Amino acid sequence: METKIYVYMVYALVTLYALCYQLQAPVEPFLVDKLTKGDNAAESAAAYGRLKSFFAFVQCIGSLVFGALLDRVGIRIGFVVNFLACALSYYLLSITDSMEMLFLSKVPGICVAGFLCAQTTLAKLQMTKETKQQALGRLTSAYTIGGVLGPYIGGQLGAQGDYFIGAQYATIGCLMAAVLCLFLPGDLDAPSQKEGGEENKKTMESKEPKGASKEEKGQLQWPKAAQLIMSLVWLYLFTKVVTGVANSMSRSALPLILKNELGFDEAMMGTMMSVQFGFGGFANAVLLEPLTKLLGGKVGVVVRNCVLAMAVGYLLIAIIFGFAGDDGAKDVRTFLFVGITMGLAMFQYSLSTSITVHTTDIVPQKLKGTLMGIEHALFSLASFVGPSAGIALFAAGGISGIGLGCAAVFLASLAVWMVFHTATDDGEKKQKPE
């Protein structure tokens, strides 16, 4: 019963975390335009791009540090630090009067890792693998609730001409969340002796490097911890980051596709993004389990089939838009694009969640925070690299160009997976001692 209570507390914290973040997201491009005086649209767009890249870089470094921090100080303190950093970031945003100040407001992002904290919490709670997969899927749905409500509320507040009121509300919300975090359990770093604790302990000991000292066994230094993690799950992390680059390429080009190629206005674009966000969360909460079974059940088969399905999806987009069509076919092609994009989101969530569930099951309990930090750092790295590549492909080849580029990345990832993946990686055979 206590585990369920803590799980729902984590859902609530993630919803509030996403809501506060998304409150300011819709007005940020307009704020950049205001701070750059709006004299040059190209310069304003470039400044906004630099701001997003800077934040992605800060989060990439921060995720590595924060993941290791969680293993040392625990989940509860980690959550508190995260929300205090969020509050500081939003407060600085609420008093911003220059681009330099706006960049400064992103610096606390080095400790902004709410979703990382939430995933690590669920990874450390004692649950069966099936229950953990369901919980991680619903965690994304909880984020989706905030991700759908936040932009709408923030946009309505910003439409009144005040670009700072959303940040003020977000500051208050994060301070409230920091207080709520104090009610989380403080003992999640210790393996449970109730549910397979002794077995978990033996598993942990068997995964320690040979010749490790007692100090190293108690708490590995970060380089050694990272080396151990990569030796266990490198293929899964490689697949996640490479496919993440393709997803980032597509995500960055989507607004331009909707606006320039498909003729979406602001309202239609907002609706499309909200629906896509909402559908992804719904798919992760309701469709994840049946989709996983449909895709083969075993994680190795699920990963392979998800990557293949997404490669096929992007190839279809490239084919559909690779030939000139008359105006009468525009509505049909738009419908097909939206439908395929929704389907791709479903496979993307299934792929990401399946990998996270499996890697957290393999890695020793005391290193799960470091693992989550590495995963989130790789995601930030993909978000840093993907946009420029995606926009360049779109500029060169339109929708067909971005479709072919993303399909190529997924196929390359699939080839590496097929070469290096074995049944042993899924735990289907007992691993030989090192």
Q: Is residue 208 part of a domain?
A: no
132 and 274 fall within a common domain: no
Check pLDDT > 60 for residue 248: yes
pTM, two decimal places: 0.65
The residue among 174, 190, 206 that closes a domain is 190
Site of tokens 């697949």: 239
- Predicted confidence band at 270 (pLDDT cuts at 50, 70, 90)? low
Would you give the distance in Å from CA 329 to the centre of its chain? 35
Site of tokens 């500029």: 395
The residue among 139, 172, 190 that closes a domain is 190
181 and 273 fall within a common domain: no
69 vs 309 pLDDT, higher one: 309
Q: What pLDDT, on the 0 to 100 scale, is given for residue 122? A: 82
Would you give the distance in Å from CA 263 to the centre of its chain? 29
135 and 240 fall within a common domain: no
Q: What is the mean pLDDT of the chain?
A: 77
Q: What pLDDT, on the 0 to 100 scale, is given for residue 93? A: 93
Q: Is residue 209 part of a domain?
A: no
Is the sign of the CA dihedral 220, 225, 231, 232 positive or negative? positive
The answer to whether residues 120 and 372 touch, using CB atoms and an 8 Å cutoff, is yes
Q: Tell me how far apart the alpha carbons of residues 343 and 280 are, in angstroms, rounded to a whole number.
A: 9
Q: Is residue 162 part of a domain?
A: yes
Check pLDDT > 60 for residue 208: no
Task: Give the structural domain span for 42.
Answer: 1-190
| Domains of the chain: total | 2
251 and 174 fall within a common domain: no
**Residue 419 sits in a domain of what CATH number?**
1.20.1250.20
Q: What pLDDT, on the 0 to 100 scale, is given for residue 94? A: 92
Q: Which residues contact 37 (CB under 8 A, 6 or more apart)?
A: none
Q: Is residue 205 part of a domain?
A: no
Q: In which region does residue 363 sit, left (phi positive, over 0), alpha (psi from -120 to 50) or beta (all else)?
A: beta
Supply 177's token pair: 């969340």
Check pLDDT > 90 for residue 171: yes
Q: Which residues contact 59 (CB under 8 A, 6 or more apart)?
A: 109, 110, 112, 113, 376, 377, 380
Across 21-30, 277-286, 339-348, least confident range: 277-286
**CA neighbor of 428 nearest in space, from 306, 290, 307, 297:** 297
Q: Which residues contact 127 (CB under 8 A, 6 or more apart)?
A: 3, 135
Q: Is residue 433 part of a domain?
A: no
Q: What is the pLDDT of residues 272-330, one digit of tens each?
A: 766 776 776 666 666 666 777 776 667 778 888 889 999 999 999 998 887 755 555 67
Q: Is residue 215 part of a domain?
A: no
Q: What is the pLDDT of residues 95-138, one digit of tens each?
A: 998 899 999 999 998 889 888 888 888 877 777 767 776 777 77
354 and 400 fall within a common domain: yes
Site of tokens 């929704």: 342
Q: Is residue 196 part of a domain?
A: no
19 and 158 fall within a common domain: yes
250 and 369 fall within a common domain: yes
37 and 80 fall within a common domain: yes
Widest Cα–Cα separation across the chain: 72
- Predicted confidence band at 189 (pLDDT cuts at 50, 70, 90)? very low
253 and 390 fall within a common domain: yes
The residue among 175, 190, 205 that closes a domain is 190
179 and 227 fall within a common domain: no
240 and 185 fall within a common domain: no
Mean pLDDT, residues 144-171 taken together: 82
Q: What pLDDT, on the 0 to 100 scale, is given for residue 142? A: 85
Site of tokens 């492909």: 393
261 and 304 fall within a common domain: yes
Q: Is residue 204 part of a domain?
A: no
